[in-house]
Structure 1
């Protein structure tokens, strides 16, 4: 016969068994990348900037296709739509259903086609220069931080020398000489192709110092990590330690640096276009279109503001995207 105390114990045991075998909430682990992306998606400003950046990239890719199919016409003139002062007839710079952003004063080319096609060349040169700067900065930063000693000293002095170089003056002074060298020695077609190679090379070769210093600082802490020490003890080569052990842990600052360097080069290309160093007419870039519009800033302000606002939106969007990625990947940092 069961005693009341034993009955109470049996009831308690049954209840405990029932609760232990009941439905349980599974704990789902999240990778650091997933956590960062969720944090990034919650930032509405960064998501808006990301959408604008994607829009400009899609527009840049579609522009050559639209030009070949005749949808865009950045080179055709419309002299019949200009008045006796070579200004677009009608209000707002000749805006119409055929020319939504008006016409270029003096020539009569479609402003929308010029700016849209110019985005393609500006982004292409900026991306190419950014890739060169990132590759140089990452490689030299890793070597400097991981090796130390004389290698660190030489790379540090090279950074100081590059930063002290009068970049703009040398761009203007050596433009004709280096463009001729690129055309003759590297067998790049003369004219705009060699000019574009010159601009990309100069921007990339002078823009790597910031990322190199950033990577060096990250590597100084990573080289003392246990996995790097273990690779050293196992006899791994320097190249494996640099690019197999250390480099995969640097993708976050590299990604952020890309989004921050890119708008700098967009602005630099626009400045070079204004100085007459970038691609020349009739091929448009945002810099050359802005340069052409300066002469008509008073008589046709719309043609001036369209490329200026386009450059501003691209630069601001990339900067906000870089800030958002930095906040998502490093929540302890401040915007």
Structure 2
């Protein structure tokens, strides 16, 4: 009995094992175990996963560190600024108390603002991604499984959504949208209403990609035997959609989630630059970077650190998404 080389390459096999033993070992592994095995062998993906995990832990810990006084993103240190409101000392005022220096003009701690800003940026990105994923997955499943006029209507909605330029819509509807949120939700804070507005709009305009991916997968899954068997047994549409079809879609959903997250992190930074989103004094990666642009010539490090942090987050999530995609699809080439 011979074992295909493609299966042998994806496992660590005992050299003393017989072909029969090897075949049994390969056959005993589930697709999930095979994917995890390939994922663990991809060093670049594992490094990216560790970096992403560190950012998530840091983002969760930041509010507690602020509460206990370890981080101080709002406190000013004007006594450490010169007569021109620039940090005293080399490298933007770096010291043992201010590892990344001070913010020119006000003297706030740069590390505290970046760390705390990561929490808000990732919260916005994750929330918008969840809205987009729920809309996209549900509508994609319904469109692909129902077919007919339902598929046609959802397809036209996708085309109509793609026809609207997302950034221009955010700018054009910002005044009306913020006022609507404050009146309906009862939120008086400008930053809170702005955060909700950005999350909702990014989610509403970001679901079309995952919907098309899910629809394409469902078109093939709905013809399989277990779906036909569920229909013959009288299963409801809801059960067929979400108990029979949905569990077979976790791979494209997971990959899309890891690739959509960095896109929304970049979108938040871009919207802050355009004046939409959370503003001062609450820090986000976007508004910290926007503020640092005014000092890019005189205090380069103050501009460099937020730009580098955004780049690391985006690249890490993208590499993790690519690695997960390759692990779930062994035929794909990095």
- Give TM-score, length-normalised by structure 2: 0.92
What is aligned with 2:140?
141
Q: How does 1:38-187 map to 2 (within 5 A)?
A: 38-187=37-186
- Please list the CA deviations of residues 99-138 of structure 1 after superposition, one character each: whole Å capped at 9, or x if unmatched: 0000000010000000000000000010000000000000
What is aligned with 2:10?
none
3-state SS of paired residue (2:105)? coil
Structure 1 residues not aligned, in runs of 5+: 1-23
* Alignment partners' CA distance in 2, 1:277 and 1:25: 61
* Alignment partners' CA distance in 2, 1:190 and 1:93: 32
* Alignment partners' CA distance in 1, 2:138 and 2:161: 16
Give the superposition deviation at 1:25: 5.4
Give the superposition deviation at 1:168: 1.0
* Alignment partners' CA distance in 2, 1:276 and 1:78: 26
* Alignment partners' CA distance in 2, 1:181 and 1:134: 24
Give the superposition deviation at 1:252: 0.6
- Please list the CA deviations of residues 196-232 of structure 1 after superposition, one character each: whole Å capped at 9, or x if unmatched: 1000001000000000000000000000000001111
Q: Is the radius of gyration larger for structure 1 or structure 2? A: 1
Q: How does 1:255-334 map to 2 (within 5 A)?
A: 255-334=254-333
What is aligned with 2:223?
224
Runs of 4+ in 1 over 4 A off after TM superposition: none
- Please list the CA deviations of residues 254-278 of structure 1 after superposition, one character each: whole Å capped at 9, or x if unmatched: 0000000000000000001111101
- Please list the CA deviations of residues 25-79 of structure 1 after superposition, one character each: whole Å capped at 9, or x if unmatched: 5944111111100110000000000000000001001100110111100000000
Structure 2 residues not aligned, in runs of 5+: 1-19
Give the superposition deviation at 1:189: 3.5
* Alignment partners' CA distance in 1, 2:138 and 2:204: 13
For these two proteins, the number of residue pairs brought into alignment is 312
Give the superposition deviation at 1:188: 2.8
Q: CA RMSD in A?
A: 1.1
The answer to whether residue 210 in structure 2 is matched with residue 211 in structure 1 is yes
* Alignment partners' CA distance in 1, 2:37 and 2:114: 35
* Alignment partners' CA distance in 1, 2:128 and 2:21: 50
